[in-house]
Amino acid sequence: MGAGEVPGEGGRAARAGGGVTGAREVRAQGAEISAPALGMILFIASEVMFFAGLFGAYFTIRGGATGWPPAGTAELEIWIPAAATVLLMVSSVTMHAAAEAAGHGRDAATARWLLITIALGALFLGGQAFEYSQLDFTVSDHSYGTLFYSMTGFHALHVFAGLVMLGLVWIKTSRGHLSHGRSGPVVAAGLYWHFVDVVWILLFATLYLLR
Amino acid sequence: MELFRGLKARGRRFLLGVLAASFALFGSACETNVGPQDFLTPEGPVARRADGLWDVTFAIAVVIFVVVEAVLVFTLVKFRRRPGREAAQFHGNTKLEVILTLIPTLILAGLAVPTVKAIADLSKKSEGALDVTVTAKQFWWEYKYPDAGVVTANEMHVPTRTPIFLSLESTDVIHSFWIPDLTGTQDVIPGRTNNMQFIADEPGTYWGQCKEYCGLSHANMRLRVIAHEPAEFERWLQDQSQPAANATSGAAAEGQQIFLQTCVNCHAVQGTEAKGTIGPDLTHFASRETFAGATFANTTENLRKWVDHPAAIKPGAPMPDYGLSAQEIDAVVAYLQTLE
Amino acid sequence: MATAVWEQPRRRNIFARPTATTGWYSWVTTVDHKKIGILYGVTAFVFFLLGGLEALALRTQLATPDADVLSADLYNQFFTMHGITMIFLVVMPMGVAFFNYFVPLMIGARDVAFPRLNALSYWIFLFGGIFIYSSFLLGGAPDGGWFGYAPLSTKLPTDGMDFYAVGLQFLGIASLAGAVNFIVTILNMRAPGMTLMRMPVFIWMALVVSFLLLFAMPVIAVALFELMFDRLFGTNFFQVAAGGDPVLWQHLFWLFGHPEVYILILPAMGIVSEVLPTFSRKPLFGYAAVVFAGAAIGFMGWGVWAHHMFAVGLGPVANAAFALSTMFIAVPTGVKIFNWIGTMWGGSLRFNTSMLFSVGFVAMFIIGGLSGVSHSIVPHDAQQTDTYYVVAHFHYVLFGGALFGIMSGLYYWWPKIFGHRLGEGLGKLNFWLWFIGFNLTFGPMHIVGLQGMPRRIYTYPDGMGWNLWNLMETVGAFVIAVSTLVFLVNVAVSRRKGRYEAGADPWDARTLEWSIPSPPPEYNFAEIPVITHRDDFWHKKYFVGPGKTAEPVFSGGAAEAEHEAEHHIHMPSPSYFPVIAAFGLLVAAYAVIFGLPAVAIGLLITTLGFFGWVFEPGAAE
């Protein structure tokens, strides 16, 4: 990140201690993966546990429930979320294109693909907001509502965080901060975006398809 | 520094003294443990089964403890730095390490077998068990004898040498039912019914208390199990299934009036119009030795304090303070004492 | 110092990085892992004093039957806060303090992978601690136990449990960021030649702990969110009437909670594995076994959570399965004990205070381990669960284990951190009072537990046979307090100039951190070392002679001389933004409890902090 030979912080971490001008160049043990990418992989591993906890809660409560959804609550409409799912899956493809472009140092293409990805993510959130407005139960009505809103809500928050992350990367790309093959942040943000996408597919299957 | 050097020799002697004293204390404690909630003195087969496993585990643990600590102390003394002592430079000893990994593994496997067997055995319901439903509430216990239609609180009466099969339920938060001399703990969880079983060998009063933190007066949610010879138990059950007699005269009658205007919201007294289910059923209140979660002895003095201002002597008790006058309190207490 | 390169004319830029290297401002903006380590340590010690005062109050109340020192309400707040404090605000951050200071030094790196993220972790930890403690002034501290069992925790009337739910989330963010940071540092920034199996055991334990945190914190995060939502938004995770399930909380909590136990104890095990070889003048016995046992504990720690729930009624099959897993997790722990004794066997033992605490750790941990195994005997666990026997057990592990290890580490590394040793005379007094006080406090709890005294009761009646033991425990608690005072006096006295001046390598130690000056320069290593051995620094000083004894190497070898290179080493510049981002989260945390819309303000501050973070220049220019 930024200029100068700084140990740690970004791709420079690959060299132990960063630039030691005047001393012999030494390569750190390990360090096959760039620090931001490794950090992101670890963070995603931790997020997997978070969603595993939520899914665990879902199946614990659903397993002990007498009716699902409880009597008096209609089954969920499937078309809007299905369309949103397609949007999100397409956004994973465009994200992949952005990372590819960044890997080849094509800044303009990277920025463009990032912008398309952001737009698709924003559309997904819009679709979810619309779906919320159509539902006839609330978060406090019953454990079904509690689980539905908290799981989709947490996912939406992650989509939002992903959008912020992509936004920052987009600004940096447009300003030329990430040229010369420093694609680490784009790759890292991309990993996160794909993760959010995969979680949604699991959520969609669990909440809408598993009747 | 002089001070600390002096301390060294004396310190060692002092330590030895402390050690000796603590062993003596431990010894005496083992001899004189007469606490009513002690679970090293089981009084029924369920508790005895657990205690038997404990005895084996404890014996093994003591042996391991003595051996390992002795080796440790020996090492510390033998290999302390002395002039001319050179540390031997070795990195390990694979054979020894494998052996020392296998030994604890084998010991644990040996312990696992009787443990798993006991878990399986203790989970079965016995033939001819007496059913009792326990409902835990902040901070007291309700017992229902479904076959006899009797409801009582805090003190559970049971026949000796008979399996008692409990169904445990909670209406508010998680509690935990425990009578150490007869059986271990079973959590009582809202929304589910847990079961446990125990047998009392001899007549007597066995103490227990709520073991899962349940709020302000968790410490004051105690209980008793009173075991009778079977014939005597039948008599008790008979008595308890009778409705209460109306108080006809004096302070008690006045107390009944007050009771039926205020206490009636929460309490039931069979044979009157009091049918409340929030608090304990008081039909045979005067036959109980204790009240308020088996926390207070059932005396006039304690009852006065309780009726006057419950939360003052039992923090967080849900029973409201009705602001009764001293005279009214005396009357209510007098009424309660007629509920034999 | 390397400051020379930083003091170039600054542009007026709101993203310009701060440059102070001394004074309080330098501490607020520091991204130096060593300063952050000291901040962690000092903060955790202050919380240790607070948690200790709570413990003294609890023990005073329980010294006699039917006592009236604390009300039931205050007692419940204190025992809850004592647990939260000692676990989340003392033992965990103390481990992190050592990780911060010594992970880079012991692997031959100049800093951690993400220095500013590291600073962010610290500020979040500090603000989280202040946040939770401020509840005492804002209507009442958490009073549902550190385990916060639902549904009680969803129903307690004060804001205390809101502070618990939000505050622990807050601290969790710090732990998570720290975990990512240490894993990347350890995997990516080791000096050349330092293969995984040449890493000091302490580094291995840091790695295992970081992975445990990485996977355990999100699980409790889920539980805490659910608790918070049930309390604040009327959701129904734990509300039976609306289809919720209170046992769900226990599964999530203990799925976090048991790995957490190892998060607390493994750093101390790592410290002991460094101290014992140094003062025995021998390499660690069975390095591979100790490393493997640590990793095995890390894995098996995920399969034992329901042994906290034997009384829940999960059924005989589940209980038997968890009994077995609980028994067998004792095996790797036993392996470690044998290896520590094996390390001392045949050595030349020097009983410095640090060594005494490590030996004390081994001696006490044996007791905690044995009582731990007895919990797996399910039918008897049904007796001892939730009694003082359990309190005795985990204090033998967490006080006799973790805290003894931490004290050992403090005495061991003090000269490296501050350039002077702590006094040995006061140190030994400190140790013996600590040792006696500890056993006096927690030893009798075994007995009183077997006599049927439950935990978490604010009072008990006379005539239960518990009086003598309780009085002894209270006396012991005050002995520990005196010992802590002795430690503080020792710290103050030892500071006097020149009194216990220490060079680079006062203990004739084995690992890399002792090869550089005390205290270490900002950039740690003038020249990144190239590693050829496990215990590389020892191998620069000694070789193993024909009689299997250590012979000194005469050519050089001792602490490295200062190099000219230092003027060319660029270190990451300090930054304001971590503290700003953390402050925003603090505002958001209060807003969750006291005025939901204000959460936006807090998150805005945090977002601005991160914005500045991303766009500030890489170094002061």
Q: Which residue has the higher pLDDT, A32 or B191?
A: B191
Note the pLDDT tens digit of each residue in A172-184. 888 877 776 677 8
CATH code, domain carrying B55? 1.10.287.90
Residue C91 is assigned to a structural domain of this protein: yes
Mean pLDDT by 10 residues, chain B (340 residues): 42 50 55 73 93 93 94 95 88 89 92 93 90 96 95 96 96 96 96 95 96 96 96 96 88 93 93 93 95 95 95 94 93 94
Q: Which contiguous run of DSSP H or E holds residue A171? A: helix A143-174
Structural domain boundaries, residue C486? 35-572
B257 and B320 co-located in one domain: yes
State the residue range of the domain holding B75.
Answer: 32-122
pLDDT at C23: 77
Q: Do C342 and B212 touch (CB under 8 A)?
A: no
Write the single-letter amino acid at C8: Q
> Is there a domain that residue B312 lies in?
yes
Alpha carbons C446 and B30: distance in angstroms, whole number: 12
Contacts of C526 in chain A (CB under 8 A): 23
Which DSSP symbol is given to C555? S
Q: How far apart are the first and last CA of chain C?
A: 18
Please tell me whether residues B268 and B327 are part of one structural domain.
yes
Q: Give the pLDDT of residue A17.
A: 36
- The confidence band for C15, taking pLDDT boundaries of 50, 70 and 90, is low
CA separation for the pair A7, C353 (Å, rounded): 36
Q: Is C496 part of any domain?
A: yes
Q: What is the mean pLDDT of residues C363-374?
A: 94
Reported confidence tier of residue C5, pLDDT bands at 50, 70, 90: very low
Same domain, B36 and B118: yes
List the end-to-end C-alpha distance of chain A, in Å, as a whole number: 48
The domain made up of A34-209 is a member of CATH 3.30.450.20: no
The pLDDT of residue B5: 42
Residue B265 lies in a domain: yes
Residue C516 included in any domain: yes
B241-250, C102-111, C203-212, C287-296, range with the lowest pLDDT: B241-250
pLDDT at B20: 55
Note whether residue C609 is domain-resident: no
Interface test with C, best of A5, A12, A20 (most C CBs within 10 A): A20
Domain assignment of residue B224, yes or no: no
Task: For residues B335 and B243, give the distance between their C-alpha atoms in angstroms, rounded to a whole number.
Answer: 15
Output the pLDDT for position C146: 96
- The verdict on C233 touching A (C-beta cutoff 8 Å) is yes
Tell me if chain B has a CB within 8 Å of the CB of C453: yes
DSSP annotation string for B225-246: EEEE-HHHHHHHHHHHTSPPPP
Q: Which of residues 17-56 of B touch C (CB under 8 A)?
A: 18, 22, 25-26, 29, 32-40, 47, 49-51, 53-54
Strand-pair partners of B268: B275, B281
Nearest to A37 by CA among C82, C114, C578, C555: C114
Domain boundary among B74, B90, B122: B122
pLDDT in tens, C559-568: 444 444 455 6
Q: Please determine, for residue C374, whether its predicted confidence score (pLDDT) is greater than 80.
A: yes
Q: According to the model, what pLDDT value does residue A43 have?
A: 94
Q: Which range has the worst mean pLDDT, A172-176, C7-11, C149-153, C322-326?
A: C7-11
Q: Which of B95, B122, B149 is the last residue of a domain?
A: B122
Q: Are residues B322 and B269 in the same domain?
A: yes
* ipTM of the complex as predicted: 0.90
- Over residues C44-70, the pLDDT tens digits come to 999 999 999 999 999 999 999 999 999
Residue C257, pLDDT above cutoff 70: yes
> So what's the pLDDT on residue C276?
97
B146, part of any domain: no
Same domain, B59 and B10: no
Tens-digit pLDDT profile for residues C283-318: 999 999 999 999 999 999 999 999 999 999 999 999
Which of C100, C107, C614, C616 is the best substitution to test chain A (most A C-beta atoms within 10 A)? C614
pLDDT at B22: 59
Per-residue confidence (pLDDT) for residue C343, from 0 to 100:
96
CATH number of the domain to which B272 belongs: 2.60.40.420
- The domains of chain A are located at 1-32, 34-209
Higher per-residue pLDDT: A148 or C26 = A148
pLDDT of residue C100 exceeding 70, the answer is yes
The reply to whether residue B92 touches residue C387, judged by beta carbons under 8 angstroms, is: no
Distance CA C392, CA C28 (A): 40
Q: How far apart are CA C482 and CA C431, in angstroms?
A: 11
Peptide bond into C65 cis (omega under 30): no
pLDDT tens-digit map of C351-366:
999 999 999 999 999 9
Query: CATH number of the domain that C536 lies in?
Result: 1.20.210.10
Residue C126 has pLDDT above 70, yes or no: yes
Report the pLDDT averaged over residues C513-528: 92
State CA C8 to chain mean position distance: 39
SS3 assignment, position C419: coil
CB contact under 8 A, C569 and A9: no
Evaluate if residue A16 carries a pLDDT over 50: no
Evaluate if residue C558 carries a pLDDT over 70: no
- H-helix segments, chain B: 2-32, 45-78, 94-122, 230-240, 250-261, 300-308, 310-313, 326-336
pTM reported for the whole predicted model: 0.92
Residue A19 confidence (pLDDT) above 50? no
Count of structural domains, chain C: 1
- The rounded mean pLDDT for chain C is 91
- Chain C, nearest residue to A57 by Cα: C248
Please say if the pLDDT value at position A4 is more than 50.
no
Flag whether C29 is in a domain: no
Is the CB of B111 inside 8 Å of chain C's CB atoms?
A: yes
Residues in chain B within 8 Å Cβ distance of C493: none
Domain tally for chain B? 3
C15 found inside a domain: no
Interface of B with C in 138-157 (CB under 8 A): none
